[in-house]
Amino acid sequence: MSLAAVLAVIALAVSDLKFRQLLFEEPEVALEGYDLTPEEAAQFMNLTPENWDAFVAQYGTVDPDGSFRPGTGG
C-alpha cells in the first residue's frame, strides 16, 4: 500500500477546495500521478461532501487552522 500517496491526496484536498471538488466530481482526473493501489483509489472514487469528514478522520485530523495532521485519526 502507498499510505504516503493516500495522505498526500487527503492533505491536498483538505487545503485546496478546488482539488477537493475535483476529487468528488472527477476522481480519476484528480488522482492522476498518485501511486495508489486499486483498493486505495477505490476509496476515493466513492467520496462525497457528506462522507468526506468521516473518511479524513480515518487517516488523521484537521486542525482548527485547516491543516491536516496524519496519523491522529481513528
Nearest to 59 by CA among 70, 47, 44, 48: 70
- Residue 74 pLDDT class (50, 70, 90 cuts): low
28 pLDDT exceeds 60? yes
pLDDT at 1 > cutoff 60: no
User: pLDDT over 70 for what percent of the chain?
Assistant: 95
Backbone φ/ψ region at 42: left (φ over 0), alpha (ψ -120 to 50), beta: alpha
Task: For residues 70 and 48, give the distance between their C-alpha atoms in angstroms, rounded to a whole number.
Answer: 20
Over 70: is that where the pLDDT of 15 sits? yes
